[in-house]
Amino acid sequence: MRTAAAALVLALTLAGCSIYRTSADLVGFRPGPGANEITVIYAQRPADAAGELEILSQDAEQVRVKVLYRAAGGAQDDVAVEREAVGELDAPLGMRTVVDDDGEIVRVVQ
C-alpha cells in the first residue's frame, strides 16, 4: 500500500500537480470588505493555485492567520505576484494585531 501511495505522489509531482499545500509569504492585510472580514495580501508565483486564508486563532488582542496554496509543478520564472484572500472573523478586527503562523506581525496595507 505504501508503494502505491508513493508512486501516486511521484506521478502527480512529475505531472506538475501538487497534492500538498504550502504556506504563502504574507505581504499585509486590511480590514474588510465586510464588517467581520479580513483581506490578507500574499505573494506566490504566477502559475500557483489561488490561496485559501485560514484563521488559526483569534482573541481580544490578536488574530493569527496563514494562507495555504498548491504550488504549480515544473519550471516557472522566479517572479512573485500579489494576490488576496478573504476570511471571516468572529467579530470586527478593531485594534487587534494580525500575526502570521510564526507569530510575526503582519503590516496594515491600504
Band the pLDDT of 18: cuts 50, 70, 90.
low
To which residue does cell 509543478 refer?
73
pLDDT of residue 16: 47
Q: Hey, where are the domains in the chain?
A: 20-99
pLDDT value at 105 more than 90: yes
To the nearest 10°, the Cα dihedral for 10, 16, 22, 25?
150
| Cis peptide leading into residue 33 (ω within 30°) | yes
- pLDDT tens across 49-82, in order? 999 999 999 999 999 999 999 988 777 777 889 9
56, 24 contact by CB (below 8 A): no
**H helices of the chain, where?**
2-14
Taking the C-alpha atoms of residue 24 and residue 54, their distance in angstroms, rounded to an integer, is 11
